Amino acid sequence: MVPETIDLQAKFAAFDGQWQPKIIAELNDYHLKLAKIKGDFIWHSHPETDELFLVVEGEMTIQFRDGATPLTRGQLCVVPRGIEHRPTAEHECHILLIEPAGTTNTGEAGGERTAPGDAWI
Amino acid sequence: MVPETIDLQAKFAAFDGQWQPKIIAELNDYHLKLAKIKGDFIWHSHPETDELFLVVEGEMTIQFRDGATPLTRGQLCVVPRGIEHRPTAEHECHILLIEPAGTTNTGEAGGERTAPGDAWI
């Protein structure tokens, strides 16, 4: 069986909802996820893992306790494990996330904004 | 210290040479690499790991023994571990690779087209 072509735009077009990451590919024990984000997320950290954000469309900012990293289309940032961060976007922004399978969006903080960590699209 | 913004276009502009992957970011024990490719690479496989190809600019095809996966800008493919493949591109294509640190471009095949696996840019 030949590995499939995975098209980012087609995947983004296939779901609505913000702050609800969708898995699109598996690489060993890592997942690639797409998310649509708008507004302010919660402060949280991932004690066990780094987390990669790549902006596919739009603009976002990752806030840290001691500063902020702005990201626009074609730019990425690796948030180190254990570092508190808060993703924000003024307008809807489309992002690609890379992190170990099972990583939850709210990290150690948990709470009502925790999304299912196993939703494929 | 605030994590840096990594700009894919700026990184691509900072190196020449084809089939010479450059590391741009580290995510736990994984590396994100950029490469410029043109022409046919060699047949090889990575017995220990899956490998992810994402096309940032241009078009490429990943040939397999039983078919081929075409990729254009914004499309990705995960090559499963142990599966023989040969990346090809008619015109220069810019790609993002994700794989464990230490993965070599020629996999088990080795040979003269093996590039340094630790070149950052």
Tell me, what's the pLDDT at B1?
84
- CA–CA gap between residue A61 and residue A68 (Å, rounded): 7
- CA–CA gap between residue B99 and residue A98 (Å, rounded): 12
First and final C-alpha spacing in chain B: 20
- CA–CA gap between residue B58 and residue B36 (Å, rounded): 10
| ipTM confidence score | 0.96
Q: Spell out the domain ranges in chain A.
A: 8-100
Express each pLDDT in A65-80 by its tens digit: 999 999 999 999 999 9
Instruction: Give the residue ranges of DSSP H helices in B1-121.
Output: 8-13
Tell me, what's the pLDDT at A72?
98
Query: Does the A8-100 domain belong in CATH 3.30.465.10?
Result: no
Tell me, what's the pLDDT at A1?
84
Tell me, what's the pLDDT at B117?
87
Express each pLDDT in A15-59 by its tens digit: 999 999 999 999 999 999 999 999 999 999 999 999 999 999 999
Taking a C-beta distance cutoff of 8 angstroms, is the pair A90, B31 a contact?
no
User: CB-based burial of residue A45 (10 Å sphere; 0-12 exposed, 13-18 middle, 19+ buried)?
Assistant: middle
- Taking CA–CA distances from A99, the nearest residue in chain B reads B27
- Taking CA–CA distances from B76, the nearest residue in chain A reads A6
> B60 and chain A: CB distance < 8 Å anywhere?
no
Query: What 3-state DSSP class applies to B79?
Result: strand
Q: Do B52 and A27 touch (CB under 8 A)?
A: yes
Q: Taking CB atoms and an 8 Å cutoff, what residues of chain A touch B28?
A: 49-50, 81, 100
Tell me, what's the pLDDT at A117?
87
Query: What 3-state DSSP class applies to B12?
Result: helix
Suggest the residue from B1, B4, B6, B81 to mutate for an interface test with chain A (most A CBs closer than 10 A). Answer: B6
Q: Give the rounded percent of residues in chain A with a pLDDT score beyond 90.
A: 98
Express each pLDDT in B51-105 by its tens digit: 999 999 999 999 999 999 999 999 999 999 999 999 999 999 999 999 999 999 9
Instruction: Using CB atoms, pick whichever of B6, B74, B98 lies closest to residue A7.
Output: B74
The average pLDDT across A7-16 equals 98
| Whether pTM exceeds 0.95 | yes
- CA–CA gap between residue B109 and residue A31 (Å, rounded): 27
Tell me, what's the pLDDT at B55?
98
- CA–CA gap between residue A54 and residue A34 (Å, rounded): 10
Taking a C-beta distance cutoff of 8 angstroms, is the pair B69, A7 a contact?
no
Instruction: Using CB atoms, pick whichever of A66, A69, A81 lies closest to residue B5.
Output: A69
Q: Taking CB atoms and an 8 Å cutoff, what residues of chain A touch B31?
A: none
- CA–CA gap between residue A86 and residue A45 (Å, rounded): 9
Count of pairs with CB atoms under 8 A, one residue in A, one in B:
104
Residues within 8 A of B (CB atoms), A 11-40 only: 25-28, 30, 32
Tell me, what's the pLDDT at B79?
98
Residue type at A22? K
